[in-house]
Structure 1
Amino acid sequence: MSFKSTKVIVLMLSLVLVLVGCSSKDEQRNLTKIPESQNLLVTGNRPLGKDQIGKKLGEVKKAVNPDVGADLADWDSTNLPVGTEIYQVLGEIDNAKGDYFAYKKDGKFYLFYEFFERK
């Protein structure tokens, strides 16, 4: 392998590492905690139909500054405003069973994703 090829590969791998690190930090700025989930939830932008929405579980009660780094209590969010409604999702998502949750924004429903901190 030539020096130029090696240099390009190292540059590309460095870029991937930077992007993965930034992605994790961005996710940490978009977290919500609810008692029904064992994991923190990341707000997503995947829309859901009304037929996929189950019962209302609660609302965000406290907006937390994501830069403070405090632990989130139930119904705290680092990016959703107080009063944002949170719902149970019915059925499967992408043919996978599990507990799924959604939030309501501007009259539409969006899927939460589980947050798994990368170490």
Structure 2
Amino acid sequence: MNRKREAYDRLAVGDRIRKKRVQLGFSQDEVAERIDRAPKYCSDIERGTCGMSTETMLAISECLDMSLDYMMFGEQTDEEARRQENDELAVIHILSGCSKQQRDYAIRLLKLYIASMQIS
């Protein structure tokens, strides 16, 4: 029963990286270029099929303005939680000033945009 224990959950880490990349509107190619890594490697990281060096973790953290605690363990700092809450409140505020028809259209556009970014 000598099973190797993973240092971290690569699938969860990759998912958090992908979600943050999409939230920021970056393609995988853009992130790869910004952190000076191959696009295939960035794709493998997001899919959780490979690990990362400390240098790569730091580069991704800086590129995506994401704390290492959140990237590796899903633990948000108070500042990150406030920033996310402010972003959500901004969207609610914008939508609250729209008619029902405008709101429905904006929601459909947002869903379409998010879906298209997940393909990258």
Q: Place the TM-score, normalised by the shorter chain, in its bin.
A: under 0.3
Higher helix share: 2
User: How high is the TM-score relative to the length of structure 2?
Assistant: 0.21
For the pair shown, the structure with the greater C-alpha radius of gyration is 1
Normalised TM-score (structure 1): 0.21
Instruction: Name the structure with the higher strand share.
Output: 1
